[in-house]
Structure 1
């Protein structure tokens, strides 16, 4: 079995590839591809595994991409931004007749692809293609599916939370994506789809140790699109976030309230300048001014908790009011990449039975098993990870 990982040299994708090597995967050939072949070769050398090889491809070159993936079994797309690249990559993957998975967390990409004819084309070719199997959406929303199956007869509300350290691995695409997410924050309230920028409303939420109670605000994230495909009758959904340290959260709040997340160009001395491009340039300059962590410093950093997340559900069980909170704490990078690799293995084994393009919540039928396998492998890879669940059931008067 052969796996092609687009963007495989990226900081998050590599956590998944290392996990795959650690666990004796079904794949006997794994291709790390990006536009920089020399970088890929150095990574392959450092991984020191006979199954991992390097390739060079510009994913915007459809012919070159087709040639790369035409002989593989599964394509794992770890490139970004997804709202720019995902459509053509999925279209080419369908043309090549290959199964597909990504950890897309760009809500615009979901709308663009699901409103097209690509899902129908994938189904006609008997392909299984999963969008959004990372940390969130992905693990966190599958955890919500697992809790719903175990504890509820019906759901009325789902709220997804996450908070991560600003030093978590990630490049310019991550910061650009953050600015987009705080500019457009859709949510569903009483069955109505609404949208407003972040920081117009804030709440206190207890993430548990080590972050504790933090201010959170709505953020634009795909669970508002993906989770209703699993639970179509749900009336309320939102995604809320914070950042560590608190000053990082306040910094994004200042940018948002100042209008610096907008793409609408301003005339600056006769030159059109996007406020978001300006904000991104400032953030990247600030990041560049700080010394980058060495590999050893990064390993030490990841020994601690660098991200917390939670899913909160409200609904009914046996005629009673039921509330659930599942909290997790660990590192965002492995929690993003390892679910994707597990999903790729499931595709290769034929364990994903549904056909067409699916969100993670639809694709993973045994949600509880998937959650347990992800937690097990994160821990076996040497990362700290905790998961705690609370259920409250009350009589309805």
Structure 2
């Protein structure tokens, strides 16, 4: 299997590449992006003849398609995806190549679903949003929903304090400041989200509060954010009355987040300016420390909650991980992305078309593979249930 890793020199892409090199069926990995110097330095550091780097400007459609033409599978880590997701998928489908990305924006997710018929005609399997959230969160939702006969509510959530990267030796000053992840976060806080609330799809502003009783844990509070789970899960679980994705444990900074989002919506600052404000002068680390001061030692990091009926009675179910791969956000996103390759190789991914993770991937097969990348060889998948 020959793999083209677009954006492969970035933090997520580097983890994806390291993981993919561990699969014996992978013959070649080509890291492609505009930061060729860093990608090349990283590739050479691995001392493996199967990996190399090329310069690629993905806004150059001819160059993009030529690079894709040489591979079997495209792994796309190039964000923000509201800018770069759709054109890369379109090129992969045009070249008849299987595809997976870590798209965490809902708008391009819907645009990419519109390419489903074309992907089927070309015999392409494309999974969008296979990282942490979306990705792990979606498949936790599958495990929670499996406990019920009817699912009426489906929530996924993650802890913002976990959204940090650890220096792998190739972290540079630009990546530490106004990076794609920070731009993405501001975008998700400032744009309306089409949420299923009380059985209707409504465009709602982010940072709405929602509380629910998670079985075995108790009351949890989350604040909505514009991630794709809120628009993909209702496509798979029809008839939901409420569905959203949110952040856990942001009570102490919620006013700051509201203020930042208001400034962007009012045009007082651009996405890039707001992202720079979030990350300047150690802002990301200070925010993380502030959040962690108010978290308990057993605070869940990523989870899903389902409410509905079991045996005709109201019931609740939850699914969460006790452990995730070490290495910060890059690891918990990049490793699931790389797992697309063995899942595809094993036949644990649905046939041709454009899919979200819950539509295409065998959740049990995914978590079995993830176990191999968590300290102690067990991610601690915990499913709880209560009437």
Q: What is the CA deviation profile of residues 250-275 of structure 1, one whole-angstrom value per residue up to 9, with x for unaligned ones? A: 5323323xx1231x535xxxxxxx45
Distance in 2 (CA, whole Å) between partners of 1:278 and 1:154 is 45
Instruction: Return the alpha-carbon distance in structure 2 between the equivalents of residues 105 and 383 of structure 1.
Output: 27
- Equivalent pair of 2:320/2:382 in contact (CA under 8 Å): yes
Query: What CA distance in whole angstroms lies between the structure 2 residues aligned with 1:122 and 1:167?
Result: 32
Query: CA RMSD, aligned part only?
Result: 3.0
Asked if residue 159 in structure 1 is aligned to residue 193 in structure 2, the reply is no
Change in 2 beyond 3 A, CA 1:275/1:75: closer
Partner of 2:194: 186
**Secondary structure, aligned partner of 1:63:** helix
Query: Are the equivalent residues in 2 in contact too, given 1:33–1:56 (CA < 8 A)?
Result: yes
Give the alignment partner of residue 260 of structure 1, picking from 263, 271, 278. Answer: 263
Partners of 1:361 and 1:233 lie apart in 2 by 16
Q: Does 1:286 align with 2:281?
A: yes
- The CA deviation string for residues 185-220 of structure 1, in whole angstroms up to 9 with x for no partner, is 4321122012322334354887999xx987531111
TM-score, normalised to structure 1, is 0.81
User: Deviations for 1:135-176, whole angstroms, at most 9, x for unmatched residues?
Assistant: 122111112213323x22221110111113276027521111
Q: Is the 8 A contact 2:193 2:205 kept in 1?
A: yes
TM-superposition CA deviations, 1:78-102 (whole Å, max 9, x none): 1111111111111111121100000
Give the deviation of 1:289 after TM superposition.
10
- Show the 5 A alignment for 1:236-251: 236-242=242-248, 247-251=252-256
Q: Is the 8 A contact 2:211 2:219 kept in 1?
A: no
**In 1: Cα distance, 2:330 partner to 2:88 partner:** 23
Question: For 1:42, what is the secondary structure of its paired residue?
Answer: helix
Distance 2:230 2:284 in 1: 36
Confirm or deny that 1:140 pairs with 2:147: no
When residues 290 and 388 of structure 1 are mapped into structure 2, their CA distance, relative to the original with a 3 A threshold, is closer
Query: What are the residue-to-residue correspondences of 1:11-160 with 2, within 5 Å?
Result: 11-21=11-21, 23-115=22-114, 118-149=115-146, 151-160=147-156
Q: For 1:307 and 1:176, locate their aligned partners in 2 and report how far apart those are by CA, in whole Å.
A: 25
For residue 378 of structure 1, give the secondary structure of its aligned residue in structure 2: coil
Residue-pair matches, total: 361
Paired residue for 2:344?
347
Q: For the Cα contact (< 8 Å) 1:12–1:333, is it kept in 2? A: yes
CA distance in 1, matches of 2:378, 2:254: 24
Query: Within the alignment, does 1:338 sit opposite 2:335 as a pair?
Result: yes
* 1:196 alignment partner in structure 2: 204
Q: Which residue of 1 aligns with 2:319?
A: 326
* Alpha-carbon distance change, 56 to 104 in structure 1, aligned in 2, over 3 angstroms: same
Residue 248 of structure 1 deviates from its aligned partner by 4.7
Give the Å deviation of 1:13: 2.0
- Corresponding position of 1:270: none
Give how far 1:352 is off. Answer: 2.6
d(CA) in 1 for partners of 2:339 and 2:364?
14
Partner of 1:301: none
